[in-house]
Amino acid sequence: MPPLPPKNAGPVREAHRFDEARLDAWLADNVEGYTGSLQVLQFKGGQSNPTFWLADRERQYALRKKPPGKLLQSAHAVDREYRVMHALRDTDVPTAKMYALCEDDSIIGTPFFVMEYVGGRIFWNVQLPDLEPDLRRAVYDELARVLAAIHRVDIDAVGLSDYGRPDAYVARQVNRWTKQYLASQTAEVKQMNALIDWLPANIPDDEATALVHGDYRLDNLIFHPTEPRALAVIDWELSTLGHPLSDLAYTCMLYDVMLPKIGGLAGVDFQKSGIPSEDAFVARYCELVGRDGVPDLAYYKAFSLFRLAAIAQGVYKRSIDGNASSPEASLFGAAVPHLAGIACGLVGIG
Judge if 307 and 340 occupy the same domain.
yes
pLDDT bracket for residue 329 (50, 70, 90): low
Q: How large is the average pLDDT for residues 245-271?
A: 90
pLDDT per residue as tens digits for the range 5-49: 888 899 999 989 999 999 999 999 999 999 999 999 999 865 568
Residue 258, pLDDT score: 86
How wide is the angle at C-alpha 338 spanned by C-alphas 218 and 323, nearest 5°? 70
Give domain status of residue 291, yes or no: yes
The answer as to whether 185 is a domain residue is yes
78 within some domain: yes
Q: Please, is 67 exposed, middle or buried when counting C-beta atoms within 10 Å of its C-beta (0-12, 13-18, 19+)?
A: buried
Residue 322's domain comprises: 133-347
Find the range with the poorest average confidence among 31-35, 277-281, 328-332, 335-339.
Answer: 328-332
Average pLDDT over residues 329-339: 84
pLDDT tier, 219 (very low <50, low <70, confident <90, very high otherwise): very high
Shared domain for 62 and 174, answered yes or no, is: no
Residue 107 phi/psi, 5° resolution? -75, -60
Is 3 part of a structural domain of the chain?
A: no
pTM for the full model? 0.89
Q: How many domains does the chain have?
A: 2
**C-beta of residue 307 within 8 angstroms of C-beta of residue 284:** no
On whether residue 122 sits in a domain, the answer given is: no
Q: What are phi and psi for residue 13, nearest 5 degrees?
A: -70, 150
Give the CATH number for residue 267.
3.90.1200.10
Average pLDDT over residues 185-200: 96
57-70: average pLDDT = 88
